[in-house]
Structure 1
Amino acid sequence: MKSLFDAEAFSEIKNRIENLAEASPRQWGKMTHGQMLHHCQGPFNIMLEKVDYGMKPNWLAKVFFKKSLYSDKLWRKNLPTAKFLREKEHRNFNDEKAQLMRILDEFESQKDRTEWTPHPGFGYFTRDQWGRMQYKHLDHHLRQFGV
C-alpha cells in the first residue's frame, strides 16, 4: 500500500481530489460528494489532534480490524462507516474540497515527524502505518467517485 508520506503518493492524491467534480458519478454508497469530502477529513483530524470525536479504546477493533486499516488489501465497497464519522448533513462540495486540501497541506507540513499520539480507538500506529492508512482511506473514497 502506498503511503501519504511518500511525495509521489501525496501528489497523486491531491491531483485526484482536484479532478473530483460534483458531477463525478458515485460508484457505491450513500454519501454525497460534499459529505465524502468532509468525512475524509476525520482521520486527519484525529491524527493531527484537531477534533476529539469521543472515541474509546476498543480491543475488538484492535484485534480484528486494525491491520486492515493499513494492509495492501483494498476495502470492499459499502463497508459500514464508523458512527462518529457518518455524515447526515448537507455539505458544500467546494468548501469541503478546499478544507480537505488545507488539511492535506497541514499533514504534509508534518511529514518529518516520527512520533504521533496514539489513535484513541486503535492505539499506537507507526509513522508508516499512519501514512498507509491515510492513503488507503482517501483512495477508497476517491474510487467511490471514480477518480
Structure 2
Amino acid sequence: MPELTRRLFALGLGALVFATPVAAQPPVMSAQEASRAVAAGEIVLIDIRTPDEWRESGVALGAWPIDMVSRDFSSRMQALLKAEAGKPIAIICATGGRTQFLQKVIAQNGLGDVIDVGEGMYGSRHGQGWLKENLPLARAEAALAAMPEAYRAAK
C-alpha cells in the first residue's frame, strides 16, 4: 500500500481512497492567480506540505501551513472548511500531486470544493510553480505564527 494511502487510512480518510471519482472537472488555479487572490483576501491558501518542506523552500506568502500527514490534519481541515464556509479554499503542495489527490478526497466527502494550485511550489505540467515565478514567500515559522489558532496543530 503506498505511503500516502496508508497515512490516509490512519487519519480515518482511507475509505475515501477507493470512492468513485468526482464527475465534474475540479477547479485549478495558477500560482500567479493564487498569489494575487490570497494577497487580496479573496481565498484562504493552505500549504499541505511537511514542515521540512516548508523550512526548505519557505511558504507561499499568506498561506497557512497545515501538514497533510499530521495526525490531526483531518480535524483541522474540517474545522477550517466549516469556519471559512463561503470563502474559496485553495491548496498547494510541491508539484500538484498531493493537492490533486486531496482535492478529490475532500469533494467526495461532501466537504465542498477546494481549488488546486496545480503547479505547486516547484512547477508541474500546469506551470512553472510559485518559486520559479518569484512569488512572495514567508519563513515557515512566520507562516505558522500568522495562522489562526484554531487551525494550528494540537500541542
Structure 1 length-normalised TM:
0.29
Q: Which has the higher contact order (CA 8 A, sep 6+)?
A: 1
Task: Return the structure number with greater strand share.
Answer: 2
TM-score by length of 2: 0.28
Q: Compare the two structures and name the one with the higher helix fraction.
A: 1
